């Protein structure tokens, strides 16, 4: 049994709530799929916690923008402001740690392919939003399951041996003959209309999306204090 988290975006309260829940289930194996920073108020503490608890650490587009591996022009105005703010406030340890985050990770023992955006073009930061996008990407990894984040919208996509695609919102059994793309959602800035933190728990038999409430107001207060864009503060309580 293991847990998969993604898109924490410097939201310490959400990350702590999720780590508490993972611990309460007795799970020790945690994979992180990228976007540790950007948007939220606690980049240093979040990166420290992720490095302490996760055995896989992947990079997202925000992580790469902060360390200048992805041009900041790629971002909308508000995301860019948060990237620039993050760059200004992080300590050297966080900066150096972000450089070590990888683009993809294959876990042979678990038959898993892990990436922030898409297996097809991991550093182009494209999205898998439609079944058409999913079908294309099923041809770019060989493992049974591909784990992704990036869109902040959790979904489980099953590809039957016939090629038919099925989707699930909350959970599904894992069939030995099927393959899967699992978007584990976002810990720190959900965008599916549910403001609770999202992450995934996987066993050999089952994949489940878990939702965890956290203290949104505390995160918002810090963002206000640091002058982060209002739209980023308000979207946390809407989960959009």
List of residues contacting Zn ion (CB under 5 A)? 7, 35
Our CB check for Zn ion shows the closer of 1 and 129 to be 129
Task: In angstroms, give the least distance from the CB of 110 to Zn ion.
Answer: 23
Write the DSSP string, 85-132. Answer: HHHHH--HHHHHHHHH-BSEEEEGGGTEEEESS-SS-TTTT----SHH
Closest to Zn ion by CB, 7 or 44: 7
CB of 133 to Zn ion, least distance (A): 17
Listed residue (155, 186, 153, 184) closest to 38, CA to CA: 186
Question: Using CA atoms, how far apart are residues 85 and 44, in angstroms rounded to an integer?
Answer: 13
- Residue 158 token pair: 């099953």
CA nearest 7: which of 37, 52, 50?
Answer: 37
- The nearer residue to Zn ion, 13 or 35, going by C-beta atoms, is 35
CB of 109 to Zn ion, least distance (A): 27
Task: State the minimum distance, in angstroms, from the CB of residue 134 to Zn ion.
Answer: 19
Report the chain's C-alpha Rg in angstroms.
Answer: 17
Question: Looking at beta carbons only, is 179 or 191 nearer to Zn ion?
Answer: 191
The minimum distance between CB 9 and Zn ion, in angstroms, equals: 6
| Tokens, residue 216 | 């949104």
Smallest distance from the beta carbon of 62 to Zn ion, in angstroms?
6
Nearest residue (CB) to Zn ion, 172 versus 188: 188
Whose structure tokens read 């898993």?
Answer: 112
| Nearer Cβ to Zn ion (7/13) | 7
Query: What is the torsional sign of CA 55, 27, 21, 134?
Result: positive
Residues facing residue 179 across a β-bridge: 159
CB 123 within 8 A of CB 116: no
Q: Are 223 and 233 in contact (CB under 8 A)?
A: yes
């Amino acid at each position: 049994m293991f847990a998969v988290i993604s898109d924490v975006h410097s939201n310490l309260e959400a990350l702590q709530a999720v780590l508490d829940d993972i611990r309460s289930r007795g799970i020790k194996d945690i994979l992180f799929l990228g976007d540790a920073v950007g948007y939220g108020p606690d980049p240093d503490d979040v990166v420290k916690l992720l490095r302490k608890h996760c055995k896989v650490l992947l990079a997202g587009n925000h992580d790469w923008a902060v360390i200048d591996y992805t041009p900041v022009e790629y971002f909308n105005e508000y995301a860019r402001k948060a990237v620039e703010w993050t760059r200004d406030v992080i300590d050297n340890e966080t900066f150096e740690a972000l450089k070590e985050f990888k683009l993809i990770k294959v876990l042979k023992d678990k038959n898993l392919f892990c990436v922030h955006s898409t297996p097809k073009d991991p550093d182009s930061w494209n999205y898998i939003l439609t079944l058409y996008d999913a079908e294309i990407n099923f041809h770019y990894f060989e493992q049974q399951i591909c784990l992704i984040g990036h869109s902040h919208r959790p979904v489980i996509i099953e590809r039957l041996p016939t090629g038919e695609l099925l989707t699930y919102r909350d959970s599904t059994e894992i069939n030995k003959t099927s393959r899967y793309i699992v978007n584990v959602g976002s810990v720190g800035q959900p965008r599916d209309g549910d403001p609770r933190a999202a992450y995934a728990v996987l066993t050999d038999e089952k994949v489940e999306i878990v939702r965890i409430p956290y203290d949104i107001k505390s995160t918002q207060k810090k963002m206000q204090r640091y002058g982060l864009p209002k739209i980023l503060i308000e979207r946390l309580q809407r989960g959009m």
